[in-house]
Amino acid sequence: LTFQIHYHNVVVKRCISRFSEKETEKSRCFGCNGNMGCFIKKLYTLLALTEKNKSLEYDYEVAHFAPQTWYCNFKNSFDNYIIIMYEEGDNVKLAGMLDNVFKRAGVSGELRTVISEELLVGGTPHKTAGSVHRYQARRTLFEDKELLTLVVQMYYYDFVVFDYSLPVLI
C-alpha cells in the first residue's frame, strides 16, 4: 500500500496559532512587533509575490504561513493522499485516525502504540492554545473585516480543497 498522509487543521485557527507563536520572536513576522494588521498585510504581499514569481527560494514566513495547498504537489497528486482533518485539542480522535492509517500500512502494533502514547501525552513545546496572545490575535482578526478578508483571500483554496466553511464577512 502506497500513500501519503497530510494533517490539516482549521485554516483560520492555524493562521492565528502560527501568528501567536511567531509574533513573540521579535526578529520574525516582518518586524511588526505583534501588530496583527501590519503582519497580515505584509504576509499577503509576500505570498502574492511568491506566487506570482513562482519563487522556490526559502523564506521563513512563507515556510510557516503559506497555504497548505501550496505543498505536497497537491495539484497533481491529491488522490494519493489520505487527508486527516482534525480539531485542535482532540488528540484522542487524531490518534485513532492515525492508528487506522498506520494499521492499513502494515505498521506494527508495538510502534503504533508508541506513536499513540506520544501523541496523547500533550502538545508541542510551542503550543499556543489558550494563551493570551492567541485570544487577542483571534479577537483582532475577527473584529477587523479587512484583515479577515485578506486571510480568506490568502487561504481560499485551503478552505475549498479541505472543505472548510468560509468565515462570514459581514
Domain count, the chain: 1
Name the band, by pLDDT with cuts 50, 70 and 90, for residue 146: very high
Residue 65 in domain: yes
Name the band, by pLDDT with cuts 50, 70 and 90, for residue 10: low
Residue 110 pLDDT > 50: yes
Distance from the first to the final alpha carbon of the chain = 46
Residue 8 in domain: yes
Least confident of 12-16, 25-29, 55-59: 25-29
What is the pLDDT at residue 45? 93
Residue 137 in domain: yes
Mean pLDDT of the chain: 80
Structure pTM?
A: 0.73
What is the pLDDT at residue 106? 93
How much of the chain exceeds pLDDT 90, in percent?
18
CA distance 134 to 81: 31
Residue 113 in domain: no
117-140: per-residue pLDDT in tens? 988 886 555 555 666 777 888 888
What is the pLDDT at residue 1? 44
Residue 55 pLDDT > 50: yes
What is the pLDDT at residue 139? 86
Domain range enclosing 32 = 4-88+129-161
Tell me, letter by letter, the H, E, C secondary structure of 51-86.
HHHCCCCCCHHHHHHCCHHHCCCHHHHHHHEEEEEE
CA distance 144 to 148: 6
Residue 111 in domain: no
Residue 166 in domain: no
Residue 33 in domain: yes
Cell of 112: 503504533
Cell of 140: 483582532
Residue 38 in domain: yes
